[in-house]
Structure 1
Amino acid sequence: MAEEASLELEDNTEPKSKKKLILFGVIGVVLITIIAVTAWMLLSSDDAPVANPGEEVVAEQAVSSGKEAFYAAMPRPFLFNLSDNGRTRLVEIKVQLMVRGTDDDTLIKKHIPLIEDALLTTFSSADIQKMSSPAGKDELRLLALRNVQNTLQPVTGRTVVEKVLFTGFVMQ
């Protein structure tokens, strides 16, 4: 009698352990699939370029000039308020400008107040909803580049700034 009871208990535990093994296997496969899909989506979204006509001109100029890249940091971060549905939000953006050659680097440093004015005008007129998304930040970066280039063009006679880079971006 005792032997039959122990045999019955052993027979009942084997299917449960097989069920647990199958359950853990299924959960593992689902987790690996979710991780793989997430990684693929994150990596593939960066590959799709945004087509802007102004950006192509800047890229062609960068390829044609074989000069070394220099980065000119703005002396102060841009600190401004934007309204969001009756609520005021504080935004701080740290900016660096990419130029080619030492001549352009010294030229940029000479015209810092003019560049700061163009950037602050661009940033303070931005939409808070757009600034909350990565695509909106990219759009703001391109708009800032165009405004800086358009501001410097009459003064310097050429496009000096190749890229506007956000090195710090805080919204509260």
Structure 2
Amino acid sequence: MAAEEELKVEEGGGGKGKLIIVIAAVVVILGGAAAFFMMGGSDEPVPEEGAQELTLDEEPAAESAPASSGSKADMGTALYVAMPRPFVFNVPGASRDRLVQIKVQLLVRGAEREELAKKHIPLIEGGLLRVFSGANADDLATVAGKEALKVRALQTVQEELNTIVGQKVVENVLFTGFVMQ
């Protein structure tokens, strides 16, 4: 009989322990959710005191030039489209051939142009590979040679996308990684 009473007491205590664990789990989950919503906030920056807030359609008061249709404010925010894989190719050099790897991102303005650039990535990759493989290892060893390659790459991408889309989609070609062996 005493053994049965001990069993009943032990069964009752285990239920309270489980209840405490469940309550603690609920409190942790609710606390995490509350912290997520509290810290989520607005993505808009808070203007400093005395700072003039501008919208996309306005220009700063200090500038008196008329707004052109191609101004950066009209075009939208800067977005970066990464090429899905780095470009790896051989280039001839005076002493020996070199292996080059370039990681590229494209600067576009606005979500519409970002979608256009993403849609035409195979066309962009083809044009960039054609420009890159025509380079010379001796030129790529200098800063001026790398800048000239970026300019040629930008011109090629803009020309090819202009024939397909009918507008300037890419504003700049950025090398985010450059390795030459």
Tell me, yes or no, whether TM beats 0.5: yes
Selected match of 2:141 from 123, 127, 132? 132
How many residues in Structure 1 have an aligned counterpart in Structure 2? 113
Residue pairs, 1:63-102, within 5 angstroms: 63=72, 65-85=74-94, 87-102=96-111
Secondary structure at 1:143 match in 2 = helix
How many Å separate the matches in 1 of 2:101 and 2:70? Answer: 30
Secondary structure of 1:126's aligned partner: coil
Deviation at 1:128, TM superposition (A): 1.4
**Is the Cα–Cα contact under 8 Å of residues 62 and 162 in structure 1 kept in the other structure?**
no
2:118 aligned residue (103, 109, 123) = 109
Distance 1:142 1:117 in 2: 16
TM-score (norm 2): 0.59
Q: Secondary structure at the match of 2:117?
A: helix
1:64 is displaced (CA, Å) by 5.6
One-letter amino acid of the counterpart of residue 133, structure 1: T
Q: What is the TM-score with the length of structure 1 in the denominator?
A: 0.62
- Map residues 5-154 of structure 1 onto 2, 5 A cutoff: 61=70, 63=72, 65-85=74-94, 87-154=96-163
- Which has the larger share of helix? 1
Secondary structure, aligned partner of 1:84: coil
Name the amino acid aligned to 1:97: L
Q: 1:132 to 1:147 in 2, by over 3 A?
A: same
Letter in 2 for 1:92: Q
Structure 1: tracts of 5 or more residues without a match? 1-59
Distance 1:62 1:135, change over 3 A: farther
Runs of 4+ in 1 over 6 A off after TM superposition: none
C-alpha distance in 1, partners of 2:72/2:170? 14
Shift of 1:127: 1.7
CA distance in structure 2 between the partners assigned to 1:64 and 1:168 by the alignment: 29
- Give the aligned partner of residue 37 of structure 2: none
SS of corresponding position for 1:164:
strand
The gaps in structure 2 that reach 5 residues or longer are 1-68
Shift of 1:163: 0.3
Percent identity over the alignment is 51
- Cα distance change on mapping 1:153 and 1:66 into 2, 3 Å: closer
Measured after TM superposition, the shift of residue 65 of structure 1 is 2.8
